[in-house]
Amino acid sequence: MESDNKRSFFGDFKKYLPLLQNLAGKDFKIKYRRSVLGIAWSILNPLLTMLVLTAVFGFIFGIDRYPGVSEFAVFYIVGASMWNFFAEATTGSMTSVLASASLIKKVYIPKYIFPLEKCLFALINFAFSLIAVAIVMAIRFQNIDPGITLVMLPLPIIYCLLFATGISLFLSAVCVYFNDIIHLYSVILTLWMYLTTLIYPLSMIEQKIGTDSAFRFVVYFIKYNPMSIYLTTFRDVVMNNTWPSLEQHLWCLGYGLVALLIGVFTFKKLQKNFILNI
């Protein structure tokens, strides 16, 4: 059998595309197999979460009074749909190789198929969550300004998919050797979420910290955080009727390609000894 290191990394992708689709379909069926509402939960879950956070952060803390948040419910659910896609893709991919140990030991399958499948599954769930976004936008239509920029909807999704795939490949490879990363990543993801403009706008942090504060670096960290840029770009396209600037496109694409290159390099480097560690 030809060894992994003699094959081009994505050389077998087309051949194993049906397997990728079958694995994603299997995960989809398992997730909703014993659920009464089935896939409706992919729509209800973000809606219910949005209602809770709108009550807390919109009404109590008044985040919607800051520039960039004309309607907190829409601001949150648009950003949350993309954040949840990234979090689900990377979290699921992290243990995908370990979880498929029995299959990997029996037959040759390109190992990258397993993290890619988790990213595809997360993308499917993301597509359903957009229905919840559309419902909230329709209800609060008078307070937002969607428009022709919606034709660019696929672009921020593709950018985020590239980034999520790169992180997923990296995590799934490293996790084979260091299982502790499974627990550590949940902490990192929580911290990452609060350092992303998911619940609050950048304008609020700038106002709270001020221009002369020693913590001004926090503003720059949040502003140039990859997920903040993806969320901002997605919101511009979906709810603000604003064309993303060339700078936004370059940041989004740059982060995505760098993450993908690092992920592919790490996965390709480590996969040859997967069989000895799973």
Q: What pLDDT is recorded for position 187?
A: 95
pLDDT band at 212 (very low <50, low <70, confident <90, very high): low
Q: What pLDDT is recorded for position 137?
A: 86
pLDDT band at 6 (very low <50, low <70, confident <90, very high): very low
Contact 28, 121 (CB under 8 A): yes
pTM of the full predicted structure? Answer: 0.89
Domain count, the chain: 1
| Average pLDDT value for residue range 73-93 | 94
| Minimum mean pLDDT range among 116-130, 213-227, 257-271 | 213-227
pLDDT band at 258 (very low <50, low <70, confident <90, very high): very high
Phi, psi at residue 45, to the nearest 5°? -60, -50
Residue of 150 and 216 predicted with greater confidence: 150
| Average pLDDT value for residue range 119-130 | 92
Q: Can you tell me whether residue 209 is helix, strand or coil?
A: helix
Q: What pLDDT is recorded for position 21?
A: 84
Q: What pLDDT is recorded for position 141?
A: 66
| Average pLDDT value for residue range 94-98 | 92
Can you read off the two tokens belonging to residue 226? Answer: 């990859």
Average pLDDT of the chain?
86
Count of beta carbons in the 10 Å neighbourhood of residue 271: 21
Residue of 271 and 63 predicted with greater confidence: 271
In tens, the pLDDT along 139-175 reads 876 666 677 888 999 999 999 999 999 999 999 999 9
Q: What pLDDT is recorded for position 4?
A: 46
pLDDT band at 1 (very low <50, low <70, confident <90, very high): very low
Residue type, 254: G
Percent of the chain whose predicted confidence (pLDDT) is above 70: 89
Q: What pLDDT is recorded for position 143?
A: 62
Residue of 36 and 237 predicted with greater confidence: 237
Q: Name residue, tokens 């140990």.
A: 101
> Which residue, among 19, 230, 257, has the nearest Cα to 120 in the 3D structure?
19
Residue of 240 and 62 predicted with greater confidence: 240
Q: What pLDDT is recorded for position 144?
A: 67
| Average pLDDT value for residue range 22-37 | 75
| Average pLDDT value for residue range 213-220 | 76
Q: Which helix (H) or strand (E) element contains residue 259?
A: helix 246-270
Identify the domain containing residue 168 by its residue range.
Answer: 4-276
Contact 152, 237 (CB under 8 A): yes
Q: What pLDDT is recorded for position 49?
A: 84
Q: What is the C-alpha separation between 77 and 224, in angstroms, rounded?
A: 21
Q: What is the C-alpha separation between 264 and 36, in angstroms, rounded?
A: 39
